[in-house]
Amino acid sequence: MKALKSVVVAMSAVAVLGVTAGCGGSESGGGAGAPAAGGTEAAAPAVTPADPKEAFLQAFAAIEARHYAYTMSVDGTEASGVVYAPGESSTQVTSGELEGTKFSTETAYVGGKAYTKLDFGSGNSSLGIDPGTWYELDLNIAKQLDYTFEQQSPVQSAFVKSISSVERDGDAAFKGTFDFAVASENNPNPQTKTLLQALGDTAKTAAFTAELDGQGNVSGLVFTIAKTDKTPEIKQTLTFTEFGTAKAPEAPANAQPAPASLNNIYK
243 Cβ contact list (under 8 Å, min separation 6): 36, 41, 42, 62, 65, 67, 68, 215, 217
Handedness of CA 167, 169, 170, 174 (dihedral sign): negative
- List, for residues 215-264, the tens digit of each pLDDT value: 999 999 999 999 999 988 988 899 999 999 999 999 999 999 999 988 88
Is-contact 29 161, C-beta < 8 A? Answer: yes
Kindly report the pTM of this predicted structure: 0.82
Q: Say which amino acid occupies 50.
A: A
Quote the pLDDT of residue 11: 46
List phi, psi (to 5°) of 225: -115, 125
Give the H or E element holding residue 260: helix 260-264
Quote the pLDDT of residue 39: 42
197 Cβ contact list (under 8 Å, min separation 6): none
Quote the pLDDT of residue 1: 40
Domain boundaries, position 167: 2-264
Q: What's the total number of domains in the chain? A: 1
145 Cβ contact list (under 8 Å, min separation 6): 13, 14, 22, 114, 137, 139, 151, 188, 266
Quote the pLDDT of residue 146: 57
Query: Burial of 72 by CB count in 10 Å (0-12 exposed, 13-18 middle, 19+ buried)?
Result: buried
Per-residue pLDDT of the chain (267 residues; tens, 9 = 90+): 444 444 454 444 334 454 554 333 333 333 333 333 334 455 545 578 899 999 999 999 998 888 999 998 887 788 899 999 999 899 988 888 766 778 888 989 999 899 999 998 888 888 889 999 999 999 888 876 656 666 677 887 789 999 999 999 998 999 999 999 998 887 766 677 888 889 999 999 999 999 999 999 999 999 999 999 998 898 889 999 999 999 999 999 999 999 998 888 877
Residues 220 and 248: their CA atoms lie apart, in Å, by: 22
Residues 146 and 143: their CA atoms lie apart, in Å, by: 5
